[in-house]
Amino acid sequence: MNVTIVDYNSGNISSVINSFKEVAKDKVNIEVTSDLSKIKSSDKVVLPGQGSFKSCVDALKKIDGLTDTLDEFAITNKKPLLGICVGLQMFADIGYEETETKGLGWISGKVSKIDNQNGKFKLPHIGWNQINIIKDSKIFKDIESNSHMYFVHSYEFVPNDKNVISATTDYSSNIVCSIEKENIFGTQFHPEKSDKIGLKMINNFINL
C-alpha cells in the first residue's frame, strides 16, 4: 500500500513524515511528493498544512494541476484523505485569514478567527487540550474521548453541516477539531505531535 504525504512547500512537515514512517514501519510505503501521477496512484493521501490559510492555498495552486488532482482523488474517486491543521481548514469554501481566500470547497463552511473574548483567551491556541469525541469516527478507533492532543492555531473551521464533526475541543467555545465525511478526514490538532495517542490515530488512518 502507498500512502502519499503531499509536499507543496507549506512549512516544515518533517514531524508528519517521521511519525507516518514510524507507524508504517516496512509494511506500508510512505511517499513524500508533489508528483501528480504518484498522488493519483496512491491508496491514501495526507495533506499537511502550516502557516496561514492563504499561504497554504497559494502554495497548492502554485503547483500546476495539484488542486485538480486532489479533487479527483478525494471527491471523484473517493479515496481516503487526511488533512492536518491548515490541511483540514482548506476543505472549507472560504477562509478569512490575512484576506478572504477561496478554499477547496469539499466541505461547505468557513474558516474564521477564534473568538478570544476580548483577550480572555490567548491566541494562538497552543499546547495540549482534551478532545471530545462526538461521533464514532474510524480514525478514533480505540482512542478515548477526553484524550489530549496538541494544538497550534488561531483560526477554526466552522462547517455548515454539523454532522461532519467527529470531535470538538473546548477553548473559548466549542471548537471543531476533527471531521469525517465519507472518505475525507481532517484534524485541527497535530497527531504527529500528540505522542502515542496521535500515533494510534495515524495508525488507524493507515489501516482504514
Q: Please compute the mean of the pLDDT values over residues 175-180 and round it to a whole number.
A: 98
For residue 110, the one-letter residue type is: K
The pLDDT of residue 149: 98
The pLDDT of residue 102: 98
Domains and CATH numbers, the chain: 2-206 (3.40.50.880)
- Residue 126's pLDDT band, with cuts at 50, 70 and 90, is very high
With a cut of 90, say whether residue 26 has pLDDT above it.
Answer: no
- For the annotated catalytic residues, the residue numbers are 85, 190, 192
Rounded Cα distance between 39 and 32, Å, is: 9
DSSP-derived pairing of the beta strands 184-187 and 81-84: parallel
The pLDDT of residue 15: 96
- Residue 12's pLDDT band, with cuts at 50, 70 and 90, is confident
Helix (H, G, I), strand (E, B) or coil at 96: coil
pTM of the model: 0.97
